[in-house]
């Protein structure tokens, strides 16, 4: 059986690194371009990367994204454009660039890493929540377009995960308060997110598509 090839963006740390390691453990070849090789803020960079991509992609994980926190009057239209470019437009362009070979082979798995903040929001998350809600809508629409080719696409929406990102925006006392709002009373482990992604990318997943799979310890159930 031919070895499958995955493309994972944002795989240098955090959830992306864990996803890369999980796929490598399944004997999947993983392409994880650096920002110098693939700058998601630049449409030209994305086009150049795709034009020079010599290996057909079987699995795509759009993990890279940015978070901008601020009230509406603290953010600019440039901030909005930047977050939409990286969190929505770039994934769409990459999907468009790799899906034709998936359709020809009648196999493909695409995962968009979204967030609970695409389904629920809070103060200061207006443009981030907007971008993740748009990514989820993109997932659902493309699932309908790709399903007959056995190309399955889903969003994975983590809640609070034990990564550098959560400590960047919260003090230790704030982190403890957040844990108390989660029914399971802890943050997700990176391997719990990557394990879910690994299953959705596998041939064992033959029927799940167009879904927003939330993994948040029950947080948005409250």
Answer yes or no: are the C-beta atoms of 72 and 121 closer than 8 Å. Answer: no
SS (H, E, C) 35-67: CCCCCCCCHHHHHHHHHCCCCCCCEEEECCCCC
Is the pTM higher than 0.85? The answer reads yes
| Domain boundaries along the sequence of the chain | 5-159+189-214
**CATH fold group of domain 5-159+189-214:** Rossmann fold (3.40.50)
Q: What pLDDT is recorded for position 31?
A: 98
Q: What pLDDT is recorded for position 170?
A: 85
Q: What pLDDT is recorded for position 124?
A: 84
Q: What pLDDT is recorded for position 1?
A: 63
Answer yes or no: are the C-beta atoms of 22 and 194 closer than 8 Å. Answer: yes
Q: What pLDDT is recorded for position 145?
A: 98
Residue 219 among the catalytic residues: no
Q: CB-based contacts of 30: which residues, under 8 Å, 6+ apart?
A: 5, 6, 7, 8, 11, 20, 23, 24
pLDDT tens-place values along the chain, 222 residues long: 689 999 999 999 999 999 999 999 999 999 999 999 999 999 999 999 999 999 999 999 999 999 888 898 899 999 999 999 999 999 999 999 999 999 999 999 999 999 999 999 888 889 999 999 999 999 999 999 999 999 999 999 999 999 988 888 789 999 999 999 999 999 999 999 999 999 999 999 999 999 999 999 999 998
Q: What pLDDT is recorded for position 55?
A: 95
Q: Which residue among 72, 128, 160, 219 is the active-site one?
A: 128
């Amino acid at each position: 059986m031919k070895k499958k090839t995955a493309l994972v963006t944002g795989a240098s740390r955090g959830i992306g690194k864990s996803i890369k390691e999980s796929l490598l453990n399944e004997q999947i070849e993983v392409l994880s371009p650096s920002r110098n090789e693939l700058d998601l803020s630049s449409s030209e960079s994305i086009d150049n990367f795709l034009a020079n991509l010599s290996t057909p992609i079987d699995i795509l994980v759009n993990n890279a994204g940015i978070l901008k926190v601020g009230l509406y009057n603290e953010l600019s239209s440039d901030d909005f454009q930047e977050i939409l470019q990286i969190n929505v437009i770039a994934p769409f362009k990459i999907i468009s660039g790799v899906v034709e070979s998936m359709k020809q082979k009648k196999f493909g798995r695409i995962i968009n890493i979204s967030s609970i903040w695409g389904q629920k929001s809070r103060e200061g998350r207006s443009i981030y929540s907007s971008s993740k809600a748009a990514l989820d809508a993109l997932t659902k629409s493309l699932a309908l377009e790709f399903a007959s080719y056995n190309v399955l696409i889903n969003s994975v929406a983590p809640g609070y995960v034990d990564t550098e990102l959560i400590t960047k925006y919260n003090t230790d006392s704030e982190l403890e308060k957040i844990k108390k709002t989660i029914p399971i009373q802890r943050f997700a482990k990176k391997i719990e997110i990557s394990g879910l992604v690994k299953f959705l990318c596998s041939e064992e997943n033959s029927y799940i598509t167009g879904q927003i799979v939330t993994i948040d310890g029950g947080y948005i159930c409250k």
